[in-house]
Structure 1
Amino acid sequence: MFNDLYEGGVSLLHIVNGDHVGDKLRKANIRGDILVWREVYPVGPVFVEMDEPDQRSTRVEYLERTMGIPADVYVTNCKSQQQTLQNFHKYDEVVLWFEHDLFDQLMLSFLLHWFSKRTLGHTKLNLLCIGDYPGIDSFRGLGQLTIKQLETLSGTWKRIEQKELEVGSKIWEAYASPDIEKHVAILNEDKLELPFAHAALELHLSRLPSAMNGLGIVEQTILELIRHRVVTPRELFKEIGSRLSLLGMGDLEFWYRLRSMSEQPNALLEIRGAHTFPDYRKKTTPSFENCDISLTEVGLEVAAGVKDWVKVKGMNEWYGGLRLHGDLTWRWDAKRKQLVHI
């Protein structure tokens, strides 16, 4: 799996945010071993300590039920990457490669939390985290960059000090908390050492049921796009990726959200025409070639703010450590950036 290469006599482990980036780094003139961290922390339940069996089983069940990720595939991958992480002491330096979106900021905070609980010994930690790149007007992430562009980033990373570890750990512990107040309070923490965290965490909160109609920002944006004649699933995915790029949302999560919005009773959407959602285990791709989407009567009423979707539909969902179910006594006001208690 790894190639045990060295840079200037120093052994390096690069931890990266996805297979696309990992494949390019392996082809680039960047020496060292590559560990692709395969996780999707914005989706489903997370816990402060992610390797405890009972807690892992809760996450395994959720990811298989909602996004079709097979339990055996997920567990095997977790054990494999965790074993490599546990062996970090064999390297002189570890470099974390991340970007500015919520997907990456949560991954980064988890790893900083993990390292903050370990004795580093001789191993030095480094961070490369960017939100733009020269010549790219709409920067989405490291996966956009060519091999040559990634090579220009080599060596530009900065040493991770104790303050970064502490801030990352606080963010992770807040995100993994079952207490909504802690998710809100972390916005007021000093996060200068991780400059992209604040905007990403604000967007995390905007995914929660809103004070206007009980919809999160993903569902709300989908309704708005449909009202503006974006009526095919693939067009919706493209537009959501553009408008909410700071989420770093992948296709499996998007199809899950779309499917949830179209499920009866009290569906927000109607998908007309033959279609299939993706199946991870069968490796089938979604098929939406001859269908379109419209708002149901409930969808129109919720979009107008006449009805609250949580009250109409009910909820049983996870965002980090928050399990949203039963009668929620609060909503999130994104404009005022505060909880509204009801």
Structure 2
Amino acid sequence: MKPSILHITNGDSTTNYLQALKFEGEFITWREMLCEGKTSIDVGSESFWKTRFDFFKSSYKVTKKTFIDLTLKEYRNLCQKKDQKEIVLWFEYDLFCQINMIAIISWIKRYRKGEKVSLVCSGTVKGSKKKLGLSELNKEQIQQHYKNRVELSQDDIEYADYIWQLYCSDSPLRLETVHKFNPMSPFVYLSDAIDVHLQRFPSIENGLNVVENYILDIANKTKPESKNQLVGNLLKNQETLGFGDTQYFQKLEKLKSLFTSFHPVKLSRKGKKVLDHQLNFYQSLRNEHTYLGGVKKYSYLYHNATDKLLKITS
């Protein structure tokens, strides 16, 4: 008899944790980071995966074999799972997880229509000053999260799919307001994640986005002895991003001209001017091949005073 539950998790650490706790059912690990690089609405299509591989190859030097072994094989395994009575999604509060989550729900809407879908989402936990990821929950907490999982209605699925479509569109402007129009949504962390996403467009003040400014700020404040220590500090202090070390190392490479040294870590005079908004670094970073979802990153500016995006017309 086949297991009646299919668990789709946000990563290997969650899958391993749940299996170690003897959760019943089958497991699929979603190994993607759709918050980075170009995306399209047709999750799982041949063109979708080609676009994603092109991004990983150019940005992270990922080989075709690695992409197939880690991502495509697991996706193909997902496609074979059609007999379970319930799909349980395990995701966290941060931007990284929330974008992956709505993409998978969009896939479910298309390929598993009518099936029971439930959501376990970690974040705010009683007694903790900070939000917690799934693997940070103790045995009792994660079992309680599972017990309290929320069954998604068809309206919930349609809503998540709609936000995914907007994320993949060629304009981010409708995301500025539409993600806040559903206060009864079970996706309690999605609004904050989309707010952070919009701040990833270059700031009008210095040309850096929220992530790049965060990197310079932590480097300046913590004065780490090495690049590894800087990345450790970034991972420890991030709140809504949910990025991994690989992402931060890649971003540091693009910002290296704003540093004089990484051993120890020191900002250059130019880097300090950019951090203090005395110099705009937009033109130095601008790249027509950099995307956030369906949008060219450098086609919009984030206006910090109004929390609005401005389209660059020229």
Q: TM-score, normalised by structure 2?
A: 0.89
1:140 matched residue in structure 2: 132
| Aligned length, in residue pairs | 309
The Cα shift of 1:82 comes to 2.6
Contact between 2:43 and 2:104, CA under 8 Å: does it hold in 1?
A: no
1:311 matched residue in structure 2: 283
1:74 matched residue in structure 2: 67
2:95 matched residue in structure 1: 102
The Cα shift of 1:70 comes to 2.2
The Cα shift of 1:170 comes to 1.2
Q: Give me the CA root mean square deviation.
A: 2.3
2:150 aligned with 1:178: no
Q: TM-score, normalised by structure 1?
A: 0.82
SS in 1 for 2:282: helix
Contact between 1:94 and 1:124, CA under 8 Å: does it hold in 2?
A: yes
2:117 aligned with 1:125: yes
The Cα shift of 1:178 comes to 1.9
What's the CA shift string for 1:206-226, capped at 9, x where partnerless? 121001111011111222223
2:305 aligned with 1:332: no
SS in 1 for 2:55: helix
Q: Which is worse superposed, 82-91 or 13-22?
A: 82-91
The Cα shift of 1:131 comes to 1.6
AA of the residue aligned to 2:276: A
2:22 matched residue in structure 1: 29
The Cα shift of 1:318 comes to 1.7
Contact between 1:14 and 1:97, CA under 8 Å: does it hold in 2?
A: yes
2:273 matched residue in structure 1: 301
Contact between 1:44 and 1:320, CA under 8 Å: does it hold in 2?
A: yes
C-alpha distance in 1, partners of 2:52/2:174?
21
SS in 1 for 2:301: strand
SS in 2 for 1:245: coil
AA of the residue aligned to 1:333: H
Identity over aligned pairs, percent = 23
C-alpha distance in 1, partners of 2:184/2:306?
22
AA of the residue aligned to 1:113: S
What's the CA shift string for 1:44-92, capped at 9, x where partnerless? 1111113343443232122123223322221344432332332343101
Please point out which of 197, 205, 228 is paired with 1:204: 197
2:237 aligned with 1:247: no
Q: Which is worse superposed, 299-308 or 105-114?
A: 299-308
Contact between 1:5 and 1:31, CA under 8 Å: does it hold in 2?
A: no
The Cα shift of 1:151 comes to 2.9
Contact between 1:128 and 1:157, CA under 8 Å: does it hold in 2?
A: yes
AA of the residue aligned to 2:116: K
AA of the residue aligned to 1:79: L
C-alpha distance in 1, partners of 2:136/2:147?
19
Unaligned segments of structure 2, at least 5 residues: none
1:287 matched residue in structure 2: none
The Cα shift of 1:310 comes to 1.4
Contact between 2:40 and 2:48, CA under 8 Å: does it hold in 1?
A: yes
C-alpha distance in 2, partners of 1:186/1:203?
15
What's the CA shift string for 1:112-145, capped at 9, x where partnerless? 1112223535x31111123223343323310112
1:49 matched residue in structure 2: 42
Going from structure 1 to structure 2, the CA distance change for 1:54 and 1:127 (only over 3 Å counts) comes to closer
Alignment of 1:83-94 (within 5 A): 83-94=76-87
Contact between 2:86 and 2:118, CA under 8 Å: does it hold in 1?
A: yes
Going from structure 1 to structure 2, the CA distance change for 1:142 and 1:43 (only over 3 Å counts) comes to same
SS in 2 for 1:315: coil
